[in-house]
Structure 1
């Protein structure tokens, strides 16, 4: 199982939201480059970066900070937040991003999402954020009517290879992942690469996800709050 450290960017700072609320923000590092350097020094060559301004505003805002990380540290970055069109996807890939995570775009602009999926299948990740069992989008402020099972099946038929699934009720809570959700997704859709996100609170959580053969996990607050060390995270990638 691959462990992927996370940086959430808000106004150019590394932060975490509590359950997706922009009213509950904790700043962990004023320099995202400094934070990314710590990850690289610990042996990580791939990180997860979210543009929280972009997710809320509908346009990618923090690209200069991400490009600085890529250019100066020469590490691989997957990113999401504020991506709304095929042109946005091309812009980010041209800027050096290794993978682009789309959530709102996949719901609100399916035509461009499918075009991106067709043209860049290995670079596209579906960001499937779940709120009360429904797919949430637009900064987690709206939910889709189509069921998770129906939507995923359609996307897999169109070439989807990778899904990053976040249980919003667990995000930033340190309450433990939604193991049942990830087990069900892994069982029902074994052909996709599944990245778990949200709620990881301990090394034990990582061991359970690893034993369940989940492909990867994004780790944020558990690291920032000292619940899991970079050395413990990196051991899974050895």
Structure 2
């Protein structure tokens, strides 16, 4: 299991939200460029970047983000307002290593079928597309966690698997932004249902103890954001963990 550092951007600033609430935002006195440089210089291969403006349909950050992303050698896992097949392909072709799709896959029943047809033949879709599942008490949420889907969680996972998508980014909303511990119980249920999925855990990770708990249930990776900014987990600890994971792999 490896750790992917997270950088959320709102109005070109590094932030973290609590439970996805734009009214509960913490701004950090560091730039996107500085954060990427810190991770890259410490040997981390992946970085997770979310455009929070884009998630609301405001793409005013995009030129700023892509100017920086194109200068880094790090592999970027990117999300925020990806609403079309063309946008997914555009992002992959422009050098984004993994594209995260969420709301559109939930609200448009045909989207995943069309994405599978468009992407899976040309690319290995599970390596280039990540299906985001944001969960509150086993209910799938979307549109910035403001709306609830009637689709049952495990049914949605099965649908994605049938279309060739095996990598999931699952955020436990109950845990997100609180530094209260990872949603191990939720992730265990997903892995019990489909042991072969590639699961990226997100939300609530506050310490290396949480990281070890996630490794124990064999998630593929975890995304860590606020714990880094609040000095609960150091960049050096991430470096050491990821190097050991690479060696053991």
**TM-score, structure 2 normalization:** 0.91
Deviation of 1:60 (Å): 4.3
Which residues in structure 2 correspond to 1:149-164 (within 5 Å)? 149-164=154-169
Match of 1:189 in 2: 194
Match of 2:64 in 1: 65
Deviation of 1:4 (Å): 0.1
Choose 43-52 or 86-95, whichever is displaced more.
86-95
Deviation of 1:200 (Å): 0.2
Unaligned runs of 5+ in 1: none
Tell whether the 8 Å contact from 1:67 to 1:95 is kept in structure 2 after alignment: no
Q: Any idea what SS the aligned residue of 2:206 has?
A: coil
Match of 2:175 in 1: 170
Deviation of 1:114 (Å): 2.6
Q: Deviations over 1:105-125 (max 9, x none)?
A: 111223233322342413111
Tell whether the 8 Å contact from 1:116 to 1:124 is kept in structure 2 after alignment: no
Choose 169-178 or 106-115, whichever is displaced more.
106-115
Choose 6-15 or 20-29, whichever is displaced more.
20-29
Match of 2:11 in 1: 11
Distance 2:143 2:94 in 1: 23
Deviation of 1:30 (Å): 4.8
Distance 2:52 2:191 in 1: 28
Match of 2:237 in 1: 232
Deviation of 1:61 (Å): 4.2
Go from structure 1 to structure 2 and tell me whether the alpha carbon gap of 1:108 and 1:61 turns closer, same or farther (over 3 Å shift). farther
Match of 1:85 in 2: 84
Q: Any idea what SS the aligned residue of 2:70 has?
A: helix
Tell whether the 8 Å contact from 1:85 to 1:109 is kept in structure 2 after alignment: no
